[in-house]
């Protein structure tokens, strides 16, 4: 059981900074920030969950069954992540590529303390075992400095030198092989990704998150801490949300750069809307998502609410579609995730063939990149993002990683796909290298 308290916040933007700084004392932290980007289906402006009462951490073997048991047993708020390699739990696929991060494949925890911010209303929901700390915590949070002058988590920070796992020449060669698979009819589309990394890297995760979030201000930003493993995410994409019997997926496919010139920026957005290659990328994934959702949906309930709508973010324009279904009540919340994971926007179509080809051509395990972070409610609703535009950091290993990718279709030109990857990498690279 949980005890609630509600407060009115005078300056929500400042309070979010204070809240996240206060959270650094805890071993487990999930902070979700919409950055006031109000897409359809936004529930909260920001959510913070800290301090595990219970948790689950596992590799991919039987991971969804274990998560299902944990979720059904606790019937409480659960926060955490699903890594891309959970695909190995549902399909006959193995991951033998290099993994410099070493994160668990799945991690969720039942937080003792949760904060929900909507407009200027803050609700705290504490487990009864610690509800005597509701007032003192709120006072302590408001005493945090309004600007980031916290002590760095690590004192031996050095400039980070980013290396590229796949050279341009190798990327072009591998993209060409991907096209050969498409021409042969093995796949229609695949999301091909590459890693950028730094070894012997000591960074301050909170500082880097705040810089990354300020550059992009995306609707699904995430700061996640599991002891000494960190995710700093500026994701613009929702993977999957459940509200009652309604399930919502919002895949992103299709990207165009922004321009400081207003007329040119509008022209770039309009050009994206009518670009055959970008639209075909999106429509192929929409078909895949419709098929995935149908596996747990009531008959004839899957439909497309919005197809290839252009949305503007600080750095890029994207095409986003919204696919919804009504879930058949015989399926559990984890069943809905299991039958749609990994998200089609990060795999390709057909999904299994695309994942097998990806595994052969990419050089690193994706891990948490192109997985999902989010939460379950006590009622079995949930909301998860897609982990893209994200920095991953293992403080024990001093290893920093971020990956980017683009969709290869029959119309793809490898040089342009490579340029799109560099465009997507720019924010993470600038944050890390300064």
**Residue of 253, 281, 359, 424 marked active site:** 253
Whether the Cβ atoms of residue 50 and residue 111 lie closer than 8 Å to each other: yes
**Greatest CA separation for the chain:** 65
Q: How far is CA 263 from CA 258, 268, 269, 270, 273, in A?
A: 11, 9, 10, 11, 16
Domains recognised in the chain with CATH numbers: 2-146+162-433 (3.60.120.10)
> CA dihedral in degrees (359, 363, 369, 370; nearest 10)?
-30
**Residue of 189, 237, 359, 417 marked active site:** 237
For the question of residue 174 being annotated catalytic, the response is: no
Beta bridge partners of 235: 220
For the question of residue 140 being annotated catalytic, the response is: no
Angle at Cα 220 formed by Cα 21 and Cα 117, nearest 5°? 55
319 dihedral zone (left: phi>0; alpha: psi -120 to 50; beta): beta
Tell which residue, 399, 339, 414, 412, has the closest CA to residue 368: 399
Beta bridge partners of 229: 226, 394
Q: Which residue has the tokens 């890594």?
A: 83
- Residues 78, 111: Cα–Cα separation, whole Å: 7
- Residues 294, 292: Cα–Cα separation, whole Å: 5
Three-state secondary structure call for residue 16:
helix
Alpha helices of 165-299 — where are they, by DSSP H? 168-184, 205-216, 262-274, 276-294
Mean pLDDT of successive 10-residue segments in the chain (434 residues)?
Answer: 97 97 98 90 95 98 98 98 96 93 98 97 98 97 78 60 97 98 96 97 97 96 98 97 98 94 97 96 96 98 97 94 98 98 95 97 97 98 98 98 96 95 93 92
**Which tokens is 301 given?**
């309930």
- Residues 379, 273: Cα–Cα separation, whole Å: 38
Tell which residue, 247, 228, 223, 208, has the closest CA to residue 79: 223
**Residue 58: burial class (beta carbons within 10 Å; 0-12, 13-18, 19+):** middle
Three-state secondary structure call for residue 59:
coil
> CA dihedral in degrees (326, 327, 329, 333; nearest 10)?
-140
The pLDDT of residue 154: 46
């Amino acid at each position: 059981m949980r005890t609630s308290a509600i407060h009115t916040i005078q300056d929500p933007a400042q309070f979010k900074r204070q809240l996240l700084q206060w959270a650094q004392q805890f071993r487990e932290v999930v902070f979700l920030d919409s950055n006031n980007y109000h897409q359809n289906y936004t529930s909260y402006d920001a959510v913070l969950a800290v301090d595990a009462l219970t948790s689950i951490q596992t590799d991919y073997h039987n991971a969804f069954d274990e998560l299902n048991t944990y979720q059904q047993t606790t019937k409480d708020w659960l926060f955490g992540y699903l890594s891309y390699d959970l695909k190995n739990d549902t399909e006959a696929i193995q991951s033998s590529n290099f993994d410099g991060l070493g994160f668990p494949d799945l991690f969720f925890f039942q937080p003792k303390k949760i904060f929900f911010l909507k407009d200027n209303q803050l609700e705290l929901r504490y487990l009864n075992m610690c509800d005597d700390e509701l007032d003192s915590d709120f006072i302590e949070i408001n005493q945090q400095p309004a600007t980031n002058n916290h002590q760095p988590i690590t004192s031996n920070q050095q400039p980070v030198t980013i290396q590229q796992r796949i050279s341009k020449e190798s990327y072009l060669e591998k993209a060409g092989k991907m096209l050969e698979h498409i021409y042969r009819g093995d796949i229609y589309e695949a999301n091909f990704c590459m890693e950028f990394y730094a070894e012997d890297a000591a960074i301050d995760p909170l500082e880097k998150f705040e810089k990354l979030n300020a550059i992009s201000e995306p609707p699904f930003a995430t700061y996640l801490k599991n002891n000494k493993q960190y995710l700093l995410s500026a994701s613009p994409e929702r993977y999957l949300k459940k509200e009652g019997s309604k399930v919502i997926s919002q895949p992103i496919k299709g990207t165009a750069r922004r321009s400081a010139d207003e007329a040119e920026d509008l022209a770039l957005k309009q050009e994206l809307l009518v670009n055959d290659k970008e639209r075909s990328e999106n429509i192929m994934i929409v078909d895949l998502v419709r098929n995935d959702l149908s596996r747990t949906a009531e008959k004839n309930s899957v439909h497309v609410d919005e197809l290839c709508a252009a949305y503007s973010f600080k750095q890029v324009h994207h095409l986003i579609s919204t696919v919804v279904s009504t879930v058949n009540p015989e399926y559990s919340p984890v069943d809905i995730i299991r039958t749609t994971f990994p998200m089609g926007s990060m795999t390709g179509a057909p999904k299994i063939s695309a994942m097998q080809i990806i595994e052969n051509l990419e050089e690193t395990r994706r891990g948490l990149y192109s997985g999902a972070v989010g939460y379950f409610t006590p009622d079995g609703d949930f909301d998860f993002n897609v982990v893209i535009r994200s920095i991953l950091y293992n403080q024990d290993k001093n290893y920093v990683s971020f990956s980017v990718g683009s969709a290869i279709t029959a119309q793809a030109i490898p040089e342009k796909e490579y340029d799109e990857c560099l465009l997507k990498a720019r924010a993470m690279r600038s944050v890390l290298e300064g």
